[in-house]
Amino acid sequence: MSAVGVALLGAGNVGGGVIAALGAGGSRYTATVGRPLELRHVLVRDSARARPGIGAAAVTTDIATVLGDPAVAVVVEVMGGEEPARDYIARALAARRHVVTANKEVMAKHGASLLALAEQHGVSLRYEAAVGGGIPIISPLSRDLLANELTAITAIINGTTNYMLTGMARDGVDYAQALAEAQRLGYAEPDPSADVEGIDAAYKLAILCGLAFHVAVAPEDVARSGITRLGARDFRYARELGYAIKLLASGRVVDGGLVASVQPTFVALDEPLARVDGVLNAVQIEGDLVDRVLFEGSGAGPGPTASAVLADVLDIARDIVVGRPPGAAVTPRPVAVHAPGAARARYYLRLTVVDRPRVLARISGVLGDHEISIASVIQAETDEHARTAELVITTHQAPGSAIAAALEVIRVLDVVVEVGNVLPMVGGARA
């Protein structure tokens, strides 16, 4: 029984998880595929480093060695980063090797061209592990939900920030403390900017929008703001109002175009996404036939990512064994990407103002001039020495563009000391 040859590009945490899973599940995978899987090569940067579970003969630093082996049918890329991963994926596809990747950055920036290259050469490019770790979401979007006209994606797709926000809400700690704890536990990198500034989530959202709406979405099309400006007071007000704060990645069809954003959002506590805590991820899809469907699970780590990678490997291997050709890729269409202001939402506004009469009347007057209706007002934390007060205003539904225009006026009012956080709200009272 001839084996299906597999090569692994990268042997870090995820690569190590794939190697361990291949060793532990060997006989089971053979039964699933009909042939054994054989790990023939592992591409690494430093071949002198000891790597448990990998035979020395399999280790190489040369991509030509990998692609020069005719027994390699599937190349698994788990190196991370844009280059040389993109180049290696392209070379593997051109050499008529099937490719499985966990690389969100490469797929967000170059997915369309790489999928076209795979189709040109009659091979598969699979990337379930690029979004959501162990959550099966790429396959359902590619197949199971095709009968639906999908209209919205709302997701929590960065475990680091979700862990931090959960801690800030539960323990009342500030951003710096939450980050330090996430770094201590290994959830956040020494440079956490890709996570806390929403860059990682924007890559993943671009991939999801492309699949769900069959459109070409670049990461730079995603409006993005991170969690660094959130403070303990925002979480206190969220609790008082009946909300959690989550970093939501959202893609929505609006007026024939797409609004895509990653931003901290107030999520009503009766919404399923409000209860997704810790390092868990979740993706909520809305369609005309299924209404809402939620996928939830562990979004990162060697185990969940290896699960998604090997699911793709096994699927390709079964196709090889039975002689089934790869399916045709869906060609994405151009789409107008609207600014977030095109969408309507309720908003939370936190302002520091001068503590004197008629301040609220002036601010509400500006909101009224922009046809924004106030839903509630909280006045708190009056500073008698500075003669300032904090106002928290929630609005009824309004276009984001109207909120932005009103804030331009409010910022320059002589009674406004500072405009703090301004966050959209999901769920709860609607008007």
| Residues catalogued as catalytic | 204
Q: Which residue has the tokens 């001839």?
A: 2
* CB 212 within 8 Å of CB 285: yes
* Adjacent-strand bridge partners of 294: 284
Exposure string over 16-35, b if 16+ CB within 10 A, otherwise e: bbbbebbeebeeebbeebeb
Phi, psi of 89 (to 5 degrees): -60, -45
Exposure string over 125-141, b if 16+ CB within 10 A, otherwise e: bbbbbbbbbbbbbbbbb
Q: How far is residue 388's CA from residue 353's CA, in Å, rounded to a whole number?
A: 6
Residue 394: CB atoms within 10 A of its CB come to 20
